[in-house]
Structure 1
Amino acid sequence: MILTTGEMYSYALKNPGAKFERMRTGRIYSFGKQGQLILDGNWESHFVPSVNEKWRLVLQHQVTWQEAILAWLRDGKEIVCKLGENESVIKPNLGFFLDQRGMAISNAEFVKGKWFIK
């Protein structure tokens, strides 16, 4: 999921521990305690991004597919399944267990995929 700078800030307000990859450089950033954007692991390096910068959410904690589905059903969380280069995002507001393309999750994704909760 690619985010603009504004979307990235909005997401970070709701999820303070989130990390983001700057698409142009591939560097990972997070937010400090005072809300400043910092290069991950370097508290001295503050960064002010441009408005049209592109970002990708860094998924941090892998879970089982059962845990992911439970979070989707019970907590209304968005979940992600990665299988090789493919990434399926399942949003809670669809009402059906379909990815962002409207496709059902395959058996291979359940068995071999890596699952994350956003």
Structure 2
Amino acid sequence: MKWLMQYFREIKLNKLILWCYLIWYLVIITFHFDPTPKIWINAMGISVVIGTALILSVSNSNDKVDYWQVFRLYLMPFCVSSFSSLIKDQGFIVIISPKPQETILAILSCVIFLLIIGAIKFTNREIKQEIG
């Protein structure tokens, strides 16, 4: 748990945006989940093909392997593929659900996450000021 708090204390804006993407995905998938194996097998196949291409495009033989980045580069095509399959013909405008409650819940979930991160960062700043 300590490493997670450290991670969130030091998180940068680009990673916060990625976390909000994941939160949005999870909220919408909760409403539109379909257990059909074909959706998930296809998403995994797309993930392997595109994830591998992404790894090859950003890798340098001299670099140390960043397993978190590798995970993200495989996860993103999986999420995009499964998301697009699940919302097909559902009336979405890009990623916005035609049902306002779904979109509001996704936005609210991201806002709550950002408020929690803000509180973690603020608390850490206050502790550092008291010590220093």
- TM-score band, normalised by shorter chain: under 0.3
TM-score by length of structure 2 reads 0.23
By percentage of residues, which structure has more helix?
A: 2
TM-score under structure 1 normalisation? 0.25
Q: Going by fraction, where is strand more abundant, 1 or 2?
A: 1
Greater relative contact order (Cα 8 A, min sep 6): structure 1 or 2? 2
